[in-house]
A and B are shown apart, each in its own frame.
Chain A
Amino acid sequence: MQLAIAIALGCCALGAGIAMIAGIGPAIGEGYAVGQAIASIARQPESKKDVTRTMFIGCGLAETTGIYALFIAVMLVFVAPNMFVRLITGA
């Protein structure tokens, strides 16, 4: 039982760490988007307001998968251990 609980908790922590590898995706995507936004502002300074707004919206969208990963990690750290322990001791 103790071993089972230990494995469960350990894997939760491990899973949380692996899940956060997905944080690299939004970083690259948003960095690229901001670079493109800066290039287009440099090409046409009057469009700064529109470009900035669209960039923010695009970043909000691109953040999605990173948020999914963060979500899973947070759940694994805070919610999952309780659930697994209850499952193991209850079952």
Chain B
Amino acid sequence: MPEVQGLITVNIWQIVISLCNLLILFLILKKFLFKPVQAMFARRKEELDTLYRDAEDAKTEAARSRMLYEDKLAAADEEARGIVRRAMTQAGEVSDEILADTGRKVEQMKIKARRDLEQERKQMINSVKDEVAEMSVDIAEKVVGREIGEEDHRAMIDRCIAQIGQTDRRA
């Protein structure tokens, strides 16, 4: 005949058993549930940390590379501009030189031309003087009717022509 415990009883050993039950369950949960799961959380956090750290490193690396490349680019720009500037100044100098040269040459040509003109003018005047002298001798011969002694009157005619030349020159 099975015995039935009263509804409200106090049995010290049952209390002790229940206390031990709770302790055993606490140890079971700690060892078999909380420890593995918390270890897994730690591993996951570690993996995430390494992931983040790697990402941070890659980012700084990329930023540094970018700065390097930008510097290089800026330097290349500067160099190119320098080259262009130098080329332009050189070209300017060369063109200035050529212009000066040309000017000088033109000046020389002008002087030469003027001198040639003077020369030709003198020659023309001389030839005109000679012809006039001859003509005047002829005329004088015809007027006088005789032969003029070329040497006596040549000096007088040259004097007359020089006077004409002076007045010419004065005019």
Contact = CB atoms under 8 A, between A and B. Distances in A.
A binds B: yes
Interface of A: 75, 78-79
A78 B7 CA distance: 9
Nearest to A83: B6
Contacts of B8: 75, 79
A52 B62 CA distance: 51
Interface residues on B, range: under 10
6 contacts: A75-B7, A75-B8, A78-B7, A79-B6, A79-B7, A79-B8
Contacts of A75: 7-8
A75 B8 CA distance: 8
Contacts of B7: 75, 78-79
Contacts, number: 6
Contacts of B6: 79
Those 4 A-B pairs whose CB atoms lie nearest each other, nearest first: A79-B7, A79-B8, A75-B8, A78-B7
Contacts of A79: 6-8
A60 B6 CA distance: 27
Contacts of A78: 7
Interface in B1-34: 6-8
A79 B9 CA distance: 11
A69 B5 CA distance: 23
A86 B6 CA distance: 14
A8 to B, nearest CB: 18
Interface string B47-64: 000000000000000000
A75 B9 CA distance: 12
A46 to B, nearest CB: 29
Nearest to A78: B7
A34 B48 CA distance: 44
A90 to B, nearest CB: 16
B5 to A, nearest CB: 12
A79 B5 CA distance: 11
A80 to B, nearest CB: 10
A76 B134 CA distance: 184
Interface in B139-160: none
Nearest to A79: B7
A78 B6 CA distance: 10
A35 to B, nearest CB: 36
Nearest to A74: B7
B7 to A, nearest CB: 5
Nearest to B9: A79
Nearest to B7: A79
